[in-house]
Amino acid sequence: QVNDTTRQIVQDALFEALNSVDSAFSSEPSVADGAIVSSQTANTESKKLQFTGDVLEVATQILVQKYGVGILPDANAVLEELNAGDSDARKKRSLDDEDEEENISFVAGLRQKRQSRDKRQGGGGRGGGHGGGKGGDQDGRKKRNSGEQTSGGGGKTEYSNPQSNQTCQGPPKSCSDQVHDRIRSITGYCNNRAKPTQANSVTAVRRLLGTTSYTDGLGAIRSKSVTGSDLPSARLISNKLHDEGSTPNFSPTTNHLGMQIGQFIAHDIIFMPSSTAKDGSSLNCTSCSSPTTVSTNCAPIPAPADDKYFNPVSKTESRCIRLTRALNGQSGFGVRTQIDQNSHYLDMSVVYGSSDCEARSVRSFSNGQLAVFSGMGYALPPQAPNDTNCQSTNPYYCFTAGDFRNCLHPGLLPLHSVFIKEHNRLAVKVKAAQPSWNDEQIYQFVRRVMVAQWQHIVYNEYLPKYLNDKYLTDFNLKPLKPGQGPFRAYDPNMNAALSAEFAAAAFRFGHSQSRQDFARQDASNKSLGAYDLGYNIFYSDQVYQKSLGGWETMLMGLIKTAGMQVDRYFSFPIRNQLFEIRGKNGSGVDLVSVNIMRGRDVGLLPYIKYRTLVGLPSVNTWNDLSSTFTAANIAALKTVYADPADIDLYSGIVMETPLTGGQLGPTASWIIAEQFRALKTGDRFYYENQVANTVGFTPDQIDVIRRVKLAKIFCENTDIITSINTDMFDLNSSQVACSSIPDIDLMKLF
């Protein structure tokens, strides 16, 4: 029970925080959209959360300074009251209009409340807009003319309502609604019926240890060594530990496709948006002083004075690598937290989108088909002429797909195109088999099959390349074999949400696998040259090279060339040229430093804190690392870190000795296995499941999915591939004729 004094204190803190957020950096330089190239662009829904998060962060600081952390539980109780009061008031106003019952929190409505309070007190209101409409609205910029908008069979199979453009996240429906027996929502809503918003798009990430490592315990980036000195700069660490030098280590076993599918998986399950400026545009966090001159959400990374690529700005001004803090999605008083803007589930949101608006933007609304751009004579995702992040110009537009980052580099486009083609290929067959079905019915049916195939490929073909048998078994990650019946381990208490440790560190291991050169090869394995990654970040002209075979020869290149070894070394463009503008050396960032700094930004604990959790002996001295690190790697770590307790999780993970039978060390293996277990046993619609009140596949139908091979999907959706790997990610795989691999037996799935 909280008393009136506390209520007043909390409300005052919120108003004070609002004023402080509104007045801070009021002369903040606004940056034209596209001037700062970034992959982590926040959408409208995320921006709304940022306002609440930023205000609550400051309000928390105010309260803690005055009253200590002891006040926080009471403050949250007050916040709950305030939110409840607001939603009651809204319900009274619009009882008849269920769709409009968007949950506006007290903090979200704070400006209006200040105005009415100021009026009551005779003062004047203040302006200021946050998360507003300036062109940086990702959903807005992607909106297409969607043509015919068929609604589902009498509304029966319909989840999203194409007529209602009110919100990209709804309208929320009751989880007891029958639609949730059959259809996986786009956002993830109601996947867990008891906790409908769990693992939805635009919700917070999980913490493996339940805690964070902010210096002030609330949100300030970890900056000090346990010895009291400053932590080394993330760029210094990258230079000293992660520079591949002149002898790149190619993987003897795994092709470059292994890297590319890994990124595609990442783009399905995690999108952690960056903070935006108050008007919704990009923050320019380039200068080293930006945290005090531009925004507290800037976290630029200092480059050492003798850096080989990022030279000092001038004799007097040192250079920083720009970084914007991940958007603060905290919804209560307490610790800063981050969100995943994509549906956390492994649900092909990378193809279908994670908000209802995004989902509409990739559909054709005719015969269940996804939209395609076919102006080149081959299928590509629909073009996005207004994408301001895109560095290529007319006619080499970037594209609209289920995930905004589809044009981050050209290697993603073959996969986006293949899966769109596969959807449309299956849709044609479904239409022929069920002529009376409408667009919505075909789309939902095919989407369900596509997600099932994708989950099977990830668990059956991808994960076993990286995790050894012990982890696959211990974490229940192996799909059962045909004939073994359904998998009976759905656990409604398992939270499928992404862990911060997986997102900001462990699953970024794949950055180590990327080559500098991306090969093109024709069907007879003849080289058609290669393009340079550093020259093509957010440039899409490569996929328009029709005379070089479009994206099909890029796909062949991924299959036929080696990826880089998973190790502590990163290729030149990854370490120097991310987001570089062509011809402007140093205009980009170092992805490895970004990964390290991102870990500190989101409050990951130092590496050694995870050792007990993942089953390793604890570490007090450098020597204690010797069972999991080579002597050379320990020596290297000593050159940058003052104490083993300082080691950043990312560097620790990529420097551990890989386990026999896998490609990752014990800590990465554990964090990744734990996440994929959550995505499997915490997903009510996982394809091998049979769950009460959920229309799954029958045992025979599950077996149809269990026979699916990624190789066949490539065969069916390309013109040039006629024979293919028996083991899709094995560089040295034997080849078989496409015709010898059976196609999915779709007719069994009706």
| Residue carrying structure tokens 């309000």 | 59
Which residue from 106, 271, 531, 714 is in contact with ligand HEM, where contact means CB under 6 A? 271
Amino acid at 86: D
Which residue from 332, 486, 510, 682 is in contact with ligand HEM, where contact means CB under 6 A? 510
626, 207 Cβ separation under 8 angstroms:
no
Rounded to whole angstroms, the Cα distance separating 565 from 95 reads 59
Q: Which residues are annotated as a binding site?
A: 511
3-state SS string for 689-711: ECCCCCCCCCHHHHHHHHCCCHH
The H helix count followed by the E strand count for the chain is 23, 10
354, 286 Cβ separation under 8 angstroms:
no
Reduced to 3 states (helix: H, G, I; strand: E, B; else coil), residue 434 is: coil
- Helices in 380-516 by DSSP H: which ranges? 412-433, 439-457, 469-474, 500-504
Choose between 675 and 681: whose C-beta lies nearer to ligand HEM.
675
Q: Is residue 710 part of the contact set for ligand HEM (CB under 6 A)?
A: no
221, 601 Cβ separation under 8 angstroms:
yes
Task: Return phi, psi of residue 576, to 5°.
Answer: -135, -25
Which residue from 107, 266, 321, 564 is in contact with ligand HEM, where contact means CB under 6 A? 266
Which of 319, 696, 699, 338 minimizes the C-alpha distance to 502?
338
Interface residue list for Ca ion (CB under 5 A): 268, 342-343, 345, 347, 349
Binding-site partner at residue 268 among ligand HEM, Ca ion, none, CB < 5 to 8 Å by type: Ca ion
Helix (H) or strand (E) holding 292: helix 290-293
Tokens of 504: 């900001």
Binding to ligand HEM in span 82-141, by CB under 6 A: none
The stretch near ligand HEM (CB under 6 A) out of 267-275, 302-310, 430-438, 553-561 is 267-275
Q: How far is the CB of 701 from ligand HEM (least distance, A)?
A: 30
How many CB atoms within 10 Å of residue 710? 22
Reduced to 3 states (helix: H, G, I; strand: E, B; else coil), residue 206 is: strand
Q: How far is the CB of 408 from ligand HEM (least distance, A)?
A: 6
Q: How far is the CB of 270 from Ca ion (least distance, A)?
A: 8
Choose between 359 and 589: whose C-beta lies nearer to ligand HEM.
589
Choose between 268 and 439: whose C-beta lies nearer to Ca ion.
268
Q: How far is the CB of 451 from ligand HEM (least distance, A)?
A: 20
- Helices in 94-187 by DSSP H: which ranges? 110-120, 138-142, 179-182
Q: Is residue 298 part of the contact set for ligand HEM (CB under 6 A)?
A: no
Got the DSSP string for 83-95?
HHHHHHHHHHHTT
Q: How far is the CB of 406 from ligand HEM (least distance, A)?
A: 12
Tokens of 277: 């400026």
Name beta bridge partners: 373.
Answer: 380
Q: Is residue 571 part of the contact set for ligand HEM (CB under 6 A)?
A: no
Choose between 332 and 411: whose C-beta lies nearer to ligand HEM.
411
Choose between 268 and 358: whose C-beta lies nearer to Ca ion.
268
Name beta bridge partners: 578.
Answer: 589
Residue nearest to ligand HEM (CB): 510
549, 528 Cβ separation under 8 angstroms:
yes
Helix (H) or strand (E) holding 737: strand 735-737
The stretch near ligand HEM (CB under 6 A) out of 188-196, 264-272, 286-294, 376-384 is 264-272
Binding-site partner at residue 255 among Ca ion, ligand HEM, none, CB < 5 to 8 Å by type: none
Tokens of 279: 């008007």
Helix (H) or strand (E) holding 301: strand 301-302
Q: Is residue 416 part of the contact set for ligand HEM (CB under 6 A)?
A: no
Binding-site partner at residue 338 among ligand HEM, Ca ion, none, CB < 5 to 8 Å by type: none
Question: What per-residue string of b and e applies to 73-108 under the rule 16 or more CB within 10 Å gives b?
Answer: ebbbbbbeebbeebeeebeeeeeeeeeebbeebbbb
With left for phi above 0 and alpha for psi between -120 and 50, is residue 371 left, alpha or beta? beta
Binding to ligand HEM in span 221-260, by CB under 6 A: 259
Choose between 327 and 704: whose C-beta lies nearer to ligand HEM.
327
681, 491 Cβ separation under 8 angstroms:
yes
**Cis bond upstream, residue 395 (ω within 30):** yes
Q: How far is the CB of 180 from Ca ion (least distance, A)?
A: 17
Q: Which residues are annotated as a binding site for heme b?
A: 511
Rounded to whole angstroms, the Cα distance separating 168 from 356 reads 5
Q: How far is the CB of 458 from Ca ion (least distance, A)?
A: 11
Residues labelled catalytic: 267
Q: Is residue 598 part of the contact set for ligand HEM (CB under 6 A)?
A: yes
Choose between 40 and 60: whose C-beta lies nearer to ligand HEM.
40
Rounded to whole angstroms, the Cα distance separating 643 from 630 reads 17
Q: How far is the CB of 656 from ligand HEM (least distance, A)?
A: 16
Binding-site partner at residue 669 among Ca ion, ligand HEM, none, CB < 5 to 8 Å by type: none
Q: How far is the CB of 264 from ligand HEM (least distance, A)?
A: 8
Amino acid at 643: D
Task: Return phi, psi of residue 162, to 5°.
Answer: -60, -25
Contact characters 476-505, ligand HEM, x per CB under 6 A: ---------------------------x--
Rounded to whole angstroms, the Cα distance separating 347 from 448 reads 9
Contact characters 6-45, ligand HEM, x per CB under 6 A: ---------------------------------xx-----
Rounded to whole angstroms, the Cα distance separating 427 from 472 reads 34
Binding-site partner at residue 598 among Ca ion, ligand HEM, none, CB < 5 to 8 Å by type: ligand HEM
Q: Is residue 514 part of the contact set for ligand HEM (CB under 6 A)?
A: yes
**Cis bond upstream, residue 252 (ω within 30):** no
Name beta bridge partners: 320.
Answer: 302
Binding-site partner at residue 347 among ligand HEM, Ca ion, none, CB < 5 to 8 Å by type: Ca ion
Q: Is residue 507 part of the contact set for ligand HEM (CB under 6 A)?
A: yes
The DSSP secondary-structure symbol of 460 reads: I
Binding-site partner at residue 664 among ligand HEM, Ca ion, none, CB < 5 to 8 Å by type: none
Contact characters 518-547, ligand HEM, x per CB under 6 A: ---------------x--------------
Which residue from 298, 457, 578, 728 is in contact with ligand HEM, where contact means CB under 6 A? 578
Which residue from 442, 450, 591, 705 is in contact with ligand HEM, where contact means CB under 6 A? 591
The stretch near ligand HEM (CB under 6 A) out of 107-115, 156-164, 173-181, 266-274 is 266-274
Rounded-to-10 torsion of CA 195, 265, 716, 707: -60
Rounded to whole angstroms, the Cα distance separating 659 from 189 reads 37
Binding-site partner at residue 343 among Ca ion, ligand HEM, none, CB < 5 to 8 Å by type: Ca ion
Rounded to whole angstroms, the Cα distance separating 77 from 333 reads 10
Q: How far is the CB of 340 from ligand HEM (least distance, A)?
A: 7
Q: How far is the CB of 746 from ligand HEM (least distance, A)?
A: 30
Choose between 64 and 408: whose C-beta lies nearer to ligand HEM.
408
Binding-site partner at residue 511 among Ca ion, ligand HEM, none, CB < 5 to 8 Å by type: ligand HEM
Binding-site partner at residue 503 among ligand HEM, Ca ion, none, CB < 5 to 8 Å by type: ligand HEM
Q: How far is CA 285 from CA 440, 452, 456, in A?
A: 44, 41, 41
Choose between 439 and 656: whose C-beta lies nearer to ligand HEM.
656
> How many residues bind to ligand HEM according to rule CB under 6 A?
23
Choose between 591 and 715: whose C-beta lies nearer to ligand HEM.
591
Which residue from 409, 431, 447, 706 is in contact with ligand HEM, where contact means CB under 6 A? 409
Tokens of 1: 């029970």
> Given the rule CB under 6 A, which residues bind ligand HEM?
39-40, 259, 262-263, 266, 270-272, 408-409, 503, 507-508, 510-511, 513-514, 533, 578, 591, 594, 598
